[in-house]
Structure 1
Amino acid sequence: MEYDQVREVDPAVADALAGELERQERTLAMIASENHASEAVLEAQGSVLTNKYAEGYPESRYYAGCEYADDVEQLAIDRAKELWGADHVNVQPHSGTQANQAVYFAMLDPGDRILSLDLTHGGHLSHGHPANFVGQLYDVEQYEIDPETGYIDYDALRDLAESFDPDVIVSGYSAYPREVEWERIQEAADEVDAYHLADIAHITGLVAAGVHSSPVGVADFVTGSTHKTIRAGRGGIVMCDEEYADAIDKAVFPGGQGGPLMHNVAGKAVGFGEALEPEFTEYAEQVVENAEALGERLAEHGLSLVSDGTDTHLVLVDLRESHPDLTGGDAEDALAAANIVLNANTVPGETRSAFNPSGIRAGTAALTTRGFGTEEMREVADLIYRVVDDHDSEDVIYEVGERVDELCGQYPLYE
């Protein structure tokens, strides 16, 4: 990736792109929502479809000249249906948040009630945080993770649903390391005559590969991101039964956005095609095995894991017991200085500010894409612990950074 054309026109942007490529090559990307797309996906996203407006849907556009845009979008739709087994799929949302927006706009009126997981317990902004449009337009009540076990208390969720009487119950999370019991949440929704929206933004790839249970066919609506564990073009997706298809499509366009980003849809099509190959199941299985190995090794070092482990691609570490004076933000900064990039995160029962919380979240999807296995993940856990345990030592940070550089050289990102 030389960015020759960009450099000829705009050297400043070319320098930034080259710098970002080098940064990704030389760091361990462990932010749980990040992954490394293939060069094929990158090429599709940078294609001439950037130039094409295609308002509407395949075979029903508001502009001429959409025959190839139709082909690409239909490929993305058909492949998504095969991956997740959905009756109806809309691949046009620009993000997971806009996918959620489409469901809310299709099924709710302003002031209707949403029951969702609190952000500090692993939920998402688009599930009802007051700073987000959801919290501003709807009446939101939030359930929590049991701080003692780190698991969802499904009985407490059901009781809260009965007292709050929501119109929608939201499941699916951004910092929950355990498999979700979709059926139990659906039962709670059925008891109060609410819709069930399952947001699988983080686990789209794990669900597609069958290594995590699927809410498709259980929940009324399933939304997600298309660039995390699924490694496709950046954006969002909505899946539902045919009875909701028209309402969802109208809520996406024209309800929530205009012309779709067809170059991103092309990236989705290519990434979905890659995910249909047998190798992707092996990849997803390795993602989970790597997360388990990472978590087990961190626990051996005495770090406390929320729920005592993981079933997914991420581990959530609560630093309060092992390192009571260390905040997640300080740990994040020290690790970043050693080229291990993860994020500070709130934990159930959080006692600090959300801006500098008590935990760190680490994901394994991107490192698995690079080729890391369980042995390498155990070493990465050792490196993380060295920095966390001696985060003020410049010598430790330097030594860990040197080993990170060696690991990145052994597993190049784009050869």
Structure 2
Amino acid sequence: MSDLQAISSAYQTLLGMIGEVEPRIAQATRQELTDQRGSLKLIASENYASLPVLATMGTWLSDKYAEGTVGHRFYAGCQNVDTVETVAAEHARELFGAEYAYVQPHSGIDANLTAYWAILANRVETPALSEFGVRGVADLSEQDWETLRHRFGDQRLLGMSLDAGGHLTHGFRPNVSGKMFHQRSYGTDPETQLLDYDALAAQAREFKPLIIVAGYSAYPRRVNFAKMREIADSVGAVLMVDMAHFAGLVAGKVFTGEEDPVPYAHVVTTTTHKSLRGPRGGMVLATEEFAPSVDRGCPLVLGGPLSHVMAAKAVALAEARTEAFRTYAQNVADNAKALAEGLLTRGVNLVTGGTDNHIVLMDVGSFGITGRQAEAALLESGIVTNRNSVPNDPNGAWYTSGVRLGTPALTSRGFTTSDMDAVADLIAGVLKHTVPTTTAKGEPSKAKYDLSADARQTSLDGAAALVGAHPLYPGFEI
């Protein structure tokens, strides 16, 4: 029996065991693999973890409580968790050239919260939540938050706006990051839709933030982090970079020099999935100055670390240190450029006019449809995407005028630049044949639409041919 046959057999046994307890969960798990295999996954924040990474999460490490840090746990018997966390942090430091790595965060949002609280704790005297008579931040009222911000010294945070490509954890008011600080957003140049570093520097001088957050969720260009650090230093701010989306391009040495955030940022946060192709989780990299404060992420922000996920992070980070991963990362960027060029030649408008990372952001307004309609039409045509705001979006954050595309997942399947041109053809064909329906008031709907049956079938057939040529986990059967 080959190794792959043995692995398939093991998974079949595992799913059989699960099915004996709750067959609906076993079936949903099988169906998820079937669905992922059968569609063109272009969600920029998703990928396909390797079988070793997936297998690592399904172990008895899940059963261990391990609050605290290596050698300083609040539970006995954590020697193996210490090994897991040590190895994961070692790989992270070596891979990214960081002074310190904290691998406990459960998600990117947890990583960002850990970073924010650590910076506050490092730079200002912070009050304890117990002074407010609450058990946790979720219990704080709006008045409590106002009092807390004042007790922090009315600290300020400057982050990228949502419609320019930032993330809700970069100071968006409904998110806790927007409640911890007095917040302001920076955008992009109205004409080019690119970052304007001079305008950002002027805004920083006027606002004088404690933290400047760089990084993005839907900005299709690279960032000069040397310039970002220069701006931060000019106003005495801490530079925090959220590289959750492009960590794989940093790890794979596609982003080097001034495009690599680690040498320039005081604190860097990331997820470990997305372009890094690991398990769902988060991580914080920092200079030694901030290491003691970040190390207190548990219990300040986090509960007990997920030891089985930390183990999977270690395996994924080990994979990312290989030459094969560097080749993969370069292919991700090349495929994104090919996808962008294919869309442009077919008349699709792109924010910033293209890409030089892994993200392509379409503005579908010229087709007379919203991002929500485009997302739904593409989904029923075998193409999985997500709607996204564009700069100064007239349709707001729910309906949007944009659709975000990303190439990490399809690149993991072996898609090439010529394949991405074919994908662009399918996308353009669906968009051109999607028409809004009319509301009862005779106005174009922002949600409902009609899609040509021929265009839908053409896309389904084309998507099936492409995924058939690049099978997911080839030879693995459950």
Q: TM-score, normalised by structure 1?
A: 0.97
What residue in structure 1 maps to residue 282 of structure 2?
A: 236
What residue in structure 1 maps to residue 243 of structure 2?
A: 200
* Bigger Cα Rg: 2
Q: Does 1:74 align with 2:86?
A: yes
Q: Does 1:215 align with 2:261?
A: yes
Say which of 305, 310, 315 aligns to 2:355.
Answer: 310
Q: Name the CA distance, whole Å, in 2 between partners of 1:37 and 1:264.
A: 12
Q: Does 1:224 align with 2:270?
A: yes
- 1:229 is paired with a residue whose SS is helix
Q: Name the CA distance, whole Å, in 2 between partners of 1:359 and 1:7.
A: 40
What residue in structure 2 maps to residue 130 of structure 1?
A: 173
Matched-pair contact (CA < 8 Å) for 1:115–1:170: yes
- 2:185 is paired with a residue whose SS is strand
* Cα distance, 1:363 vs structure 2: 0.2
Q: Name the CA distance, whole Å, in 2 between partners of 1:57 and 1:217.
A: 25
* Cα distance, 1:137 vs structure 2: 2.1
Mean Cα deviation higher: 61-70 or 355-364 = 61-70
Letter in 2 for 1:90: Y
Matched-pair contact (CA < 8 Å) for 1:234–1:267: no
* Cα distance, 1:147 vs structure 2: 2.8
Say which of 182, 206, 213 aligns to 1:170.
Answer: 213
* Cα distance, 1:235 vs structure 2: 0.7
Q: Does 1:249 align with 2:261?
A: no
* Cα distance, 1:5 vs structure 2: 1.4
Q: Name the CA distance, whole Å, in 1 between partners of 2:430 and 2:287.
A: 48
What residue in structure 2 maps to residue 95 of structure 1?
A: 107
Mean Cα deviation higher: 8-17 or 279-288 = 8-17
What residue in structure 2 maps to residue 154 of structure 1?
A: 197
Say which of 73, 95, 107 aligns to 1:83.
Answer: 95
Say which of 320, 326, 337 aligns to 1:281.
Answer: 326
Letter in 1 for 2:94: E
Identity of aligned residues (%): 45
Mean Cα deviation higher: 167-176 or 131-140 = 131-140
What residue in structure 1 maps to residue 4 of structure 2?
A: none
* Cα distance, 1:64 vs structure 2: 1.7
Q: Does 1:403 align with 2:462?
A: yes
* Cα distance, 1:349 vs structure 2: 2.1
Q: Name the CA distance, whole Å, in 2 between partners of 1:317 and 1:147.
A: 16
Q: Deviations over 1:206-240 (max 9, x none)?
A: 00111012111201111111001111121111111
Q: Deviations over 1:32-55 (max 9, x none)?
A: 000000111000111111111111
Q: Name the CA distance, whole Å, in 1 between partners of 2:86 and 2:457.
A: 50
Matched-pair contact (CA < 8 Å) for 2:119–2:290: no
What residue in structure 2 maps to residue 188 of structure 1?
A: 231
- 1:119 is paired with a residue whose SS is coil
Matched-pair contact (CA < 8 Å) for 2:433–2:455: yes
Letter in 2 for 1:51: D
What residue in structure 1 maps to residue 446 of structure 2?
A: none
- 1:174 is paired with a residue whose SS is coil
* Cα distance, 1:186 vs structure 2: 1.0
Q: Does 1:367 align with 2:410?
A: yes
Say which of 39, 47, 59 aligns to 2:51.
Answer: 39
What residue in structure 2 maps to residue 337 of structure 1?
A: 380
Q: Name the CA distance, whole Å, in 1 between partners of 2:381 and 2:62.
A: 37
Q: How many residues align?
A: 412
Gap runs ≥5 in structure 1: none
- 1:253 is paired with a residue whose SS is helix
Matched-pair contact (CA < 8 Å) for 1:200–1:224: yes
Matched-pair contact (CA < 8 Å) for 2:108–2:271: yes
Matched-pair contact (CA < 8 Å) for 1:41–1:233: yes
Letter in 2 for 1:363: G
Q: Name the CA distance, whole Å, in 1 between partners of 2:195 and 2:52.
A: 39
Letter in 2 for 1:255: L
Matched-pair contact (CA < 8 Å) for 1:305–1:316: yes
Poorly superposed stretches of 4+, deviation over 3 Å = none
Q: Name the CA distance, whole Å, in 2 between partners of 1:354 and 1:258.
A: 31
* Cα distance, 1:158 vs structure 2: 0.6
What residue in structure 2 maps to residue 326 of structure 1?
A: 369
- 1:206 is paired with a residue whose SS is helix
Q: Name the CA distance, whole Å, in 2 between partners of 1:290 and 1:227.
A: 19
Letter in 2 for 1:194: A
Q: Name the CA distance, whole Å, in 2 between partners of 1:223 and 1:114.
A: 16
CA RMSD of the aligned region, Å?
1.1
Matched-pair contact (CA < 8 Å) for 2:268–2:286: yes
Q: Name the CA distance, whole Å, in 1 between partners of 2:101 and 2:357.
A: 24
- 2:302 is paired with a residue whose SS is coil
Q: Name the CA distance, whole Å, in 1 between partners of 2:462 and 2:353.
A: 28
What residue in structure 1 maps to residue 161 of structure 2?
A: 118
Letter in 1 for 2:108: G
Q: Name the CA distance, whole Å, in 2 between partners of 1:406 and 1:167.
A: 52
Gap runs ≥5 in structure 2: 1-10, 121-125, 127-148, 435-450
What residue in structure 2 maps to residue 293 of structure 1?
A: 338
Q: Name the CA distance, whole Å, in 2 between partners of 1:27 and 1:303.
A: 22
Q: Name the CA distance, whole Å, in 1 between partners of 2:302 and 2:350.
A: 40
Q: Name the CA distance, whole Å, in 2 between partners of 1:37 and 1:352.
A: 35
Mean Cα deviation higher: 131-140 or 105-114 = 105-114
Q: Name the CA distance, whole Å, in 2 between partners of 1:4 and 1:274.
A: 29
Q: Deviations over 1:320-339 (max 9, x none)?
A: 2x31x111110100000011
Q: Does 1:376 align with 2:419?
A: yes
Q: Name the CA distance, whole Å, in 2 between partners of 1:254 and 1:347.
A: 37
Mean Cα deviation higher: 135-144 or 280-289 = 135-144
Q: Deviations over 1:184-218 (max 9, x none)?
A: 11111111111010110000110011101211120
